[in-house]
């Protein structure tokens, strides 16, 4: 059993062949996946995919790139939408100072609203972080003082210091196809040396970041075994151990998700 903890299944990349994509995922041993919401306006499309399939759950959130588009987002709004029976997480949210698509202050306001929603719903907070390691660590440490919530640093490519500080807060970390890239030695070192093995889960972040040997192609959940292989080679698991470890960690973190038969 493998669970793809972060997919972007709605929209143009899969509009013509989503059924085939999901069938290939099942054939590859992917028995569950999470459809991620990055804009509140996308929730209807995201939740419709989850509603149509027993093994797909979804989230509610606004990516930091879109913080400027939804400057008045509130925890109350997120909490209300999160009552949907298929919603198992809050996000994707976070801080991205690489592209600067949204001003920093608006990213922080949006992130704080999501954190409060995660605290109130007791659902995990799915975090995107790029060029903001120190700021994310400081945010998490300050917010945990206000009240504990579960945190997931998805598609983790941050440094060792953020990993260490977040690990002390019991955060989880998701490995993506990046862990298989030839030049990703620093990412592999962090997963090997700084992240607790029992808090590693896996994702494709499809349609982006196809793992080796699929680089350059549209990514899809059927490639998740290649991500798992990269994780196992990094931390020293057999692939059976890796499947068991990452699946157990997923259901421990996303406790609202019902394990497939």
Half-sphere exposure of 84 (CA within 13 A, CB side): 20
Q: What is the pLDDT of residues 21-46, one digit of tens each?
A: 999 999 999 999 999 999 999 999 99
Per DSSP, what are the bridge partners of residue 58?
35, 87
Quote the pLDDT of residue 260: 79
Quote the pLDDT of residue 100: 86
- For residue 119, which of 159, 76, 177, 164 has the smallest C-alpha distance? 76
pTM of the model: 0.97
User: For the chain, how many residues are written?
Assistant: 261
Beta-carbon count within 10 A of 107 CB: 26
Q: Report in angstroms the alpha-carbon separations of 29 from 7, 103, 120, 172.
A: 16, 41, 34, 23
CATH number at residue 213: 3.20.20.140
Alpha helices in 133-173 (DSSP H): 133-146, 160-168
On whether residue 259 sits in a domain, the answer given is: no
On whether residue 42 sits in a domain, the answer given is: yes
On whether residue 8 sits in a domain, the answer given is: yes
DSSP string for 54-110: TTEEEEE---GGGGGG-TT--HHHHHHHTTSTTEEEEEEEEEETTT-SS-HHHHHHH
Average pLDDT across the chain, whole number: 97
On whether residue 23 sits in a domain, the answer given is: yes
Residue 69 vs residue 224, higher pLDDT = 224
On whether residue 260 sits in a domain, the answer given is: no
Residue 211 structure tokens = 């793992």
SS3 89: strand
Quote the pLDDT of residue 239: 96
Q: What is the pLDDT of residues 56-106, one digit of tens each?
A: 999 999 999 999 998 899 999 999 999 999 999 999 999 999 988 999 999
H or E element in which residue 43 lies: helix 43-51
Does residue 261 surpass a pLDDT of 80? Answer: no
Interval 163-192 mean pLDDT: 98
On whether residue 261 sits in a domain, the answer given is: no
Per DSSP, what are the bridge partners of residue 60?
90
Query: For residue 142, with 0-12 CB atoms within 10 Å meaning exposed, 13-18 middle and 19 or more buried, which class applies?
Result: exposed
- Count: domains in the chain: 1
Q: What is the rounded CA–CA span in Å between residue 175 and residue 225?
A: 12
- 150: domain range? 2-253
Interval 157-173 mean pLDDT: 98
On whether residue 230 sits in a domain, the answer given is: yes
Q: What is the rounded CA–CA span in Å between residue 100 and residue 16?
A: 32
Residue 80 structure tokens = 């209300």
- For residue 95, which of 137, 60, 124 has the smallest C-alpha distance? 137
On whether residue 217 sits in a domain, the answer given is: yes
Q: Give me the sign of the Cα torsion angle 27, 259, 200, 86.
A: positive
Share of residues in the chain with pLDDT > 90 (%):
96
Q: What is the rounded CA–CA span in Å between residue 175 and residue 191?
A: 8
Q: Is 41 left (phi over 0), alpha (psi -120 to 50) or beta?
A: alpha
């Amino acid at each position: 059993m493998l669970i793809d903890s972060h997919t972007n299944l709605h929209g143009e990349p899969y509009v013509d062949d989503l059924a085939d994509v999901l069938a290939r995922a099942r054939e590859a041993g992917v028995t569950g996946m999470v459809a991620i919401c990055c804009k509140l306006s996308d929730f209807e499309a995201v939740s419709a995919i989850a509603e149509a399939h027993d093994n797909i759950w979804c989230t509610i959130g606004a990516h930091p790139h879109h913080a400027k588009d939804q400057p008045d987002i509130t925890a109350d709004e997120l909490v209300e939408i999160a009552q949907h029976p298929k919603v198992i997480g809050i996000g994707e949210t976070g801080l991205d100072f690489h592209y600067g698509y949204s001003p920093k202050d608006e990213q922080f306001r949006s992130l704080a609203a999501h954190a409060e929603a995660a605290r109130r719903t007791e659902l995990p907070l799915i975090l995107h972080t790029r060029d903001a390691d120190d700021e994310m660590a400081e945010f998490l440490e300050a917010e945990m003082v206000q009240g504990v919530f579960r945190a997931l640093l998805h598609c983790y490519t941050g440094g060792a210091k953020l990993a260490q500080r977040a690990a002390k807060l019991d955060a989880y970390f998701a490995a993506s196809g990046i862990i298989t890239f030839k030049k990703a030695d620093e990412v592999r070192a962090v997963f090997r040396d700084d992240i607790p093995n029992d808090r590693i889960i896996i994702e494709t972040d499809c349609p982006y970041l196809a793992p080796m040997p699929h680089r350059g192609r549209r990514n899809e959940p059927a490639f998740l075994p290649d991500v798992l292989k990269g994780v196992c080679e990094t931390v020293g698991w057999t692939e059976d151990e890796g499947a068991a470890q990452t699946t157990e960690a997923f259901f421990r973190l996303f406790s609202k998700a019902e394990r497939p038969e």
